[in-house]
């Protein structure tokens, strides 16, 4: 797993979120939960196939779809993040 690329994508996502006030509360909460789980993955000694990480790819892709219409600048970052998570099998 390329942890640095994941960290860079998360940083881009944070910067994008901080630069817009248009993200509704529910979506922002979902993004924060996803971010927390990915941060946990990055710092954990556990394998990406551990059940705690199950569904990260699907969650990322679902959020990407929600962002596509409302936040076209942020959606590509989420899409790439989902692709990276899929590659590592979470």
Residue with the bigger pLDDT between 35 and 45: it is 35
| Radius of gyration of the chain from its Cα atoms, rounded to whole angstroms | 12
d(CA 16, CA 71): 10
Name the residue ranges covered by the structural domains of the chain: 3-16+27-88
pLDDT at 50 over 70: no
pLDDT at 11 over 80: yes
Mean pLDDT across the chain, nearest whole number?
75
Token match 């954990």: residue?
Answer: 44
Model pLDDT, residue 61: 78
The dihedrals phi and psi of 32, each to the nearest 5 degrees, come to -65, -40
User: Over the range 20-32, which residues count as b (16 or more CB within 10 Å of their CB) and which as e?
Assistant: eeebeeebeeebe
């Amino acid at each position: 797993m390329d942890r640095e690329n994941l960290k860079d994508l998360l940083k881009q996502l944070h910067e994008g979120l901080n630069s817009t006030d248009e993200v509704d509360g529910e979506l922002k909460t979902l993004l924060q939960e996803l971010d927390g789980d990915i941060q946990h993955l990055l710092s954990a000694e556990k394998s990406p196939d551990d059940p705690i990480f199950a569904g990260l790819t699907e969650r990322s892709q679902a959020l990407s779809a929600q962002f596509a219409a409302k936040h076209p600048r942020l959606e590509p970052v989420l899409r790439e993040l989902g692709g990276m998570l899929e590659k590592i099998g979470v």
